[in-house]
Amino acid sequence: MIKENLVGTIEKSILKNWDNSCFSDYGGATCSYGGVAASILKIHELFKSFGIKKGDKISLCGRNSSNWAITYLATVTYGAVIVPILVDFSPEEIAHIVNHSDSKLFFATDSVFERIEKLHLETAEAVVSLENFAFFFVRDEEKKIDIAEKIKQEPIVKENFHFEAISNDTQASIVYTSGTTGFSKGVMLTHNALMVNVKFFVDHLEKDEPGNVLAFLPLAHCFGCAYDFLSQFARGAHIYFLGKIPTPKVILQAFEEINPVIVVTVPLILEKIYQSKIVPLLEKGLLATLIKIPLLNRIIYSKIGTRINNTFGSNHFELLIGGAAFNPQIEEFFMKCGVRFTVGYGMTECAPLIAYTHYFDGRPVGSCGKVIEYLQAKIDTPDENGVGEICVKGENVFTGYYKMEHETAESFDGEGWFHTGDLGFIDEKGFLFIKGRIKSMILSASGQNIYPEEIEARLNSMPYVAESLVIENKEHKLVAFVYPDRAKAKKDDISDEKLLEIMEENRVKLNAVSSSFTKISDIKIHQEEFEKTSTKKIKRRLYQGLAD
């Protein structure tokens, strides 16, 4: 187990950065590290008034905000277990998680409580507003204290500030993840698993000044929580929380104002920027001709890269992309342009990081870096191409699924290896490549493995395709369902009839460069966006019968 302690690291950062800006709600108020410390201690008083013990569960549901982060920190430093819940879950799912996790308290935004107030909460002693820490509901009125008022009063003295020590083998969090193939499971993570991610990030960032950070990925997901929040707090950064829906327009404006030191994002954001800002430049006009000229195209690529880098702020060190597969064609283009980005690999069960390599350390296109030093990895039962299930074990692997002993036992083998359910291979230099999910893989009639994610990545780069999903039908033929880029089609005055013709052209072009067993038999228009997880992966299980 690593020497660094999570609660000790939180305390150390607070004391070191006491008077510095800590949290800001984008467009709203700012509080210092010392102010955050005071708020944490007042919430500890609330916990005591309700008899909360170490190990008790505290649920938390709301969009990114200072109060969300303060509640999270207050819970883990108290020794209780935080249960962050995605706001995108249905009301029934939110209530189920609060109940299933045995949460004693539930912190929620007003909008979340309005959605679930008529549903039965079995274990929660109270529901507390994240807006102002007032009570929506409390079973025992005698336990109520005015936290909002206490936060304003009784300023604490830096010299007397201290958290009680909590060992790293203590459970810190239960994260319920919807995933792409199944229903919510509660992933149990220790303080050590979270600390491994914090330590790896801080040790490898190579940036002395803490700077500013824009937290726009949902903090209830491990990716955003680890790298937009916990790691940045440990560094002493000023964290701006974006509570709005992160549209490209809103995000780009925030980048310009905040000038973040690092940008943690998912592929969909960059793919939208590429399709809307770059593709139109390369399709028409002088630039489309000049970029085909050797030597001259290097200058053009460099200028495009500079423009993209500056889009995220002149101070940013690196774009850290994760949560879903990145389109390899767009990835290769960004590399040619010198965009400062890298692609990592992780999952909730590892809190989340498994593999990562900086953009300047020779990561090849399609790879998600090398497995971090706190983990061992192996490829289980590889095929003739070296592709098999990715298995890991080490310091940041979860301890099991909450109250799901059977599912936990199925996820680990007799030697303690966690089977990720992801297919991939490791090359001779140690770089990890992901091929897709085991449950997504299709076995062709001739016995070949088909990875639909790879076909979708190529199709998504073709004209008027916003996103796609490849499914096998009853006749064992591959059918692609495409959600078209309606905005571009409207701009270019493309009718629905013409759109179908273009999709057929896309199919022919795609099949021309595909192996015989990965050819698409038909492309069908899907009228709505596919439903996705918080990291923008399509929930494939919802569409398995679509081709029949």
The per-residue pLDDT for range 79-133, each reduced to its tens digit, is 999 999 999 888 988 999 999 999 999 999 999 999 998 888 999 999 999 999 9
- From the list 349, 433, 443, 399, the residue with the least C-alpha distance to 171 is 399
Lowest-confidence pick of 51-60, 365-374, 431-440, 442-451: 442-451
| Backbone φ, ψ for residue 189 (5° rounding) | -120, 140
In this prediction, residue 182 carries a pLDDT of 46
> What dihedral angle (degrees, nearest 10) is formed by the CA atoms of 289, 293, 298, 304?
0
pLDDT band at 183 (very low <50, low <70, confident <90, very high): low
Contacts of 469 (CB under 8 A, 6+ apart): 452, 456, 480, 481, 526, 530, 538, 540, 543, 546
And the tokens for 361? 């350390």
Exposed, middle or buried, 393 (CB in 10 Å: 0-12/13-18/19+)? middle
In this predicted model, which residue has the larger pLDDT, 249 or 264?
264
Q: Is the pLDDT of residue 447 over 70?
A: no
Instruction: Please provide the average confidence, as pLDDT, over all residues in the chain.
Output: 90
**Mean per-residue pLDDT, 320-346:** 91
Give the 3-state secondary structure of residue 320.
strand
In this prediction, residue 294 carries a pLDDT of 85
* CA dist., res. 43 & res. 307, Å (int): 45
Domains of the chain: 6-199 (3.40.50.12780), 266-317+325-373 (no CATH), 442-543 (3.30.300.30)
In this prediction, residue 147 carries a pLDDT of 66
In this prediction, residue 272 carries a pLDDT of 80
Exposed, middle or buried, 94 (CB in 10 Å: 0-12/13-18/19+)? buried
What b/e readout covers 102-130, taking b as 16+ CB neighbours within 10 angstroms? Answer: bbbbbbbbeebbebbeeeebebbbbbbbb
**Mean per-residue pLDDT, 8-17:** 98
Contacts of 514 (CB under 8 A, 6+ apart): 455, 520
* CA dist., res. 69 & res. 61, Å (int): 11
Length of the chain: 548
Chain center to CA of 6: 21
Residue type, 527: Q
User: Is the CB of residue 30 less than 8 Å from the CB of residue 23?
Assistant: yes
Give the 3-state secondary structure of residue 17.
coil
In this predicted model, which residue has the larger pLDDT, 539 or 67?
67
pTM across the whole model:
0.86
| Backbone φ, ψ for residue 301 (5° rounding) | -60, -45
* CA dist., res. 322 & res. 529, Å (int): 21
- In sign, the C-alpha dihedral spanning 509, 514, 518, 519 is positive
Q: Is the peptide bond before 352 cis (omega within 30 degrees of 0)?
A: yes
User: Is the CB of residue 287 less than 8 Å from the CB of residue 300?
Assistant: yes
* CA dist., res. 322 & res. 300, Å (int): 28
Residue type, 478: L
Long-range contacts of 538-546 (CB under 8 A, 24+ apart): 538/180, 538/467, 538/469, 539/178, 539/180, 540/180, 540/181, 540/437, 540/439, 540/440, 540/469, 541/180, 541/181, 541/182, 543/469, 543/471, 543/481, 544/471, 546/469, 546/471, 546/479, 546/481
Q: Is the pLDDT of residue 288 over 80?
A: no
Residue type, 492: D
